[in-house]
Structure 1
Amino acid sequence: MNITPTMRALVWSTSVLALTIGPTFAQQISGTPGSLSATTTIDGKYLPNPPAPFGGTINMDAKGSKPYWPPTVVPPKAAPNVLLMSFLR
């Protein structure tokens, strides 16, 4: 599939519009980091969102190890619903 200049301009203008339409949100973690109930909001600068670093401890036995669950990613309040489609051949 050839990308025409019109398609390129449409993608560029859509990207600029998406970045300037709403307020900027910083990534925030709610709850205790590492717990199952922790959530984080995404800022939308990267797709897919980069994975959270592992915050637990892995030792040779379970007694010395500390579990860690990455926070559940949730959109910021009033975020628009967006569907991304990729047409790769």
Structure 2
Amino acid sequence: MGALKPWHIIVLVVVLILLFGAKKLPDAARGLGRSLRILKAETKNLRDEAKADDEMDSKADAQHARKPAATIEGEAVSQPARDKTHEDGR
């Protein structure tokens, strides 16, 4: 049960020929093949873009991790000092 037997394929081919005609079947198969090639290429492009984005994110994380702690603290301390100068009007 569930196995595809040779006579199933023969019946399917006969039905397709009766529905679409012998001339339109090759054109339909070519169109389907082109569509599948386009879909495959677009899927590959999306995967490549996602991989490139992941690599850029990991590089940015690595650069942030290499930043010295004194610089990070210096940026945090210098920010309020700049805010005071703006409050005094200088």
Structure ranking higher in strand proportion? 1
Structure ranking higher in helix proportion? 2
Whether TM exceeds 0.5 here: the answer is: no
Q: Normalising to structure 1: TM-score of the pair? A: 0.30
Q: Normalising to structure 2: TM-score of the pair? A: 0.30
More relative contact order, 1 or 2 (CA 8 Å, 6+ apart): 1
